[in-house]
Amino acid sequence: MDENLEKTILVVDDSESNIDMILAILKAYDVIPSTSGEDALALIKEESVDLVLLDILMPGMDGYTVCRKLKSQAETRDIPVIFITAKTDEESIEKAYDIGGADYVTKPFKPKELLARVKVQLKLQNVIRELDFMATRDSLTGIYNRRRFFQLAEQMYAEASDDLYAVMIDIDHFKRVNDRYGHHTGDDVLKSITRTISRALPKPSLFGRVGGEEFAVLLKTGGQTRAMEVVSLVQQKVNETLINIGENLTISCTISSGVACKQEETATLDCLLREADMALYKAKEGGRNQSIFRDV
């Protein structure tokens, strides 16, 4: 499949003839047309958009206002915006960049120039996404790394008044796997168990690797009973996972979990995670392959 077809570009211009021209130039991409700023903002809530081509002079909501709204929202602020307009004065160009525009193309369009500028912004966006992934994800498992987990967890903790549960998870006897089969197999086990846990957790849950074979989860579930059901399902799915480590050879692992709920007396995120970690210690001390709720 042509990778361009996987890129979606929203074109916002009140002139249908301009939109038709852009559609012809960007025929290699998935292009969504819009003839007003209001419609564009509604569309972008429903569609996954990689780039916006935005006219400045439009009746009703102008392009500057649309761009400001896009840049003010977390869901859309990182989408690059290329302004398309007949205005060529320095003040208009400066304003376009000041409010968050990534580039500026003047009318009438030069097809090769427009196409080149679109390609540059899409490539730059790919590089930024890759760098962000490398900075925030665990290189082995692909889930959030410790630093990013705690950043997002602090925000989730601050926004949750109640029904917030922390789960600390540890792979039982993981050192034995490394000692017996080698670290390469240990890596395969970590990746396999991580995938299994990710699929079993409800959305949205925050899941990160915080140590060698230790993971942390924050989730809202609707009560302690439901939280423990989720943790029990995760444990069951891990138990059922067969990990291929060689020709006709598979192994399975178990996990231990500690669970704690945010209470009025829970002062900080660290306190909540510490409570879950204490419950995890009890689960391991009590024989492993089990989940314990920290009742404080």
Give 211-252 pLDDT, tens digit per residue: 999 999 999 988 899 999 999 999 999 999 999 988 889 999
Residue labelled with tokens 């392009």:
63
Q: Is 47 helix (H, G, I), strand (E, B) or coil?
A: coil
β-bridge pairing 103-106 and 51-55: unpaired
- Residue 296, pLDDT > 80, answer no
Backbone angles phi, psi at 124, to 5 degrees: -60, -40
CATH architecture classification, 3-135: 3-Layer(aba) Sandwich (3.40)
Question: What is the per-residue pLDDT for 1?
Answer: 43
Residues noted as catalytic: 213
**Three-state DSSP state, 5:** helix
pLDDT band with cut points at 50, 70 and 90 for residue 74: confident
- What is the reported pLDDT for 160? 87
Residue 85 clears pLDDT 70, i.e. is over it: yes
CA distance 11 to 66: 12
The domain spans of the chain are 3-135, 146-293
CA distance 99 to 181: 56
Separation of alpha carbons 8 and 60, rounded Å: 25
Digit-coded pLDDT (tens) for 19-66:
999 999 999 999 999 999 999 999 999 999 999 999 999 999 999 999
3-class state of residue 13 by DSSP: coil
Helix residue ranges per DSSP H, the chain: 16-25, 37-46, 63-71, 90-98, 111-136, 146-159, 174-181, 183-200, 224-240, 269-285
pLDDT over 70 (residue 4): no
Q: Which fold has domain 146-293?
A: Alpha-Beta Plaits (3.30.70)
pLDDT at 254 over 70: yes
Q: What is the pTM of this model?
A: 0.76
Q: What is the pLDDT of residues 166-185, one digit of tens each?
A: 999 999 999 999 999 999 99
